[in-house]
């Protein structure tokens, strides 16, 4: 099953035919909001508003672990997460669709792993290709079929919101 996680600019899916809503509970607490189950273009999907409905949860307080745990419990294997971002490339106009292939995580003070105990077995996770290549290919093909311009490749730099970057932080690139 596919999950779509919407950010501040995507709090609902206009064409989602909702079949039911469900509040989830996890060992990590509750996700951001109730999951919306439905169909989108004949595909079963789950929609989750990352910041809650009405944008009530700031980025640094989103319970990312609960969100992903609950999605996995529902059998989700693929996730498309949409984010409203600030761009630093002058040649990309606001609203440009960019499909990143790398990530830089500058967040801090957030629970960022499920391996939070000394008495559990763990293994290192390869993060050299953080985004699914097969999912990226599907998105690029879909964008082309819809004649939707989409930049293939880029770096998503996650910063410690809700504040935006300073000029000095942007200029480091």
Q: In order of start, what are the domains of the chain with their CATH numbers?
A: 1-84 (no CATH), 85-173 (3.40.50.1580)
> pLDDT tens, 31-81?
999 999 999 999 999 999 999 998 899 999 999 999 999 999 999 999 999
Q: Which residues pair with 79 in a beta bridge?
A: 3
What pTM was estimated for this model as a whole? 0.91
């Amino acid at each position: 099953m596919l999950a779509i996680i919407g950010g501040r600019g995507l709090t609902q899916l206009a064409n989602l035919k909702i079949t039911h809503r469900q509040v989830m509970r996890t060992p990590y607490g509750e996700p951001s909001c109730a999951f919306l189950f439905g169909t989108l273009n004949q595909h079963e999907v789950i929609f989750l508003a990352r910041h809650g409905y009405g944008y009530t949860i700031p980025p640094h307080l989103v319970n990312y672990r609960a969100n992903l745990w609950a999605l996995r419990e529902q059998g989700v294997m693929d996730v498309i997460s949409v984010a409203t971002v600030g761009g630093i490339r002058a040649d990309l106009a606001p609203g440009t669709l960019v499909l990143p292939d790398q990530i830089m995580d500058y967040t801090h003070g957030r629970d960022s792993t499920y391996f939070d105990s000394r008495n559990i077995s763990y293994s290192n996770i390869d993060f050299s290709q953080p985004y699914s290549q097969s999912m990226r290919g599907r998105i690029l093909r879909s964008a082309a079929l819809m004649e939707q311009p989409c930049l293939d490749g880029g770096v998503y730099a996650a910063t410690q919101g809700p504040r935006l970057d300073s000029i000095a932080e942007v200029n480091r690139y």
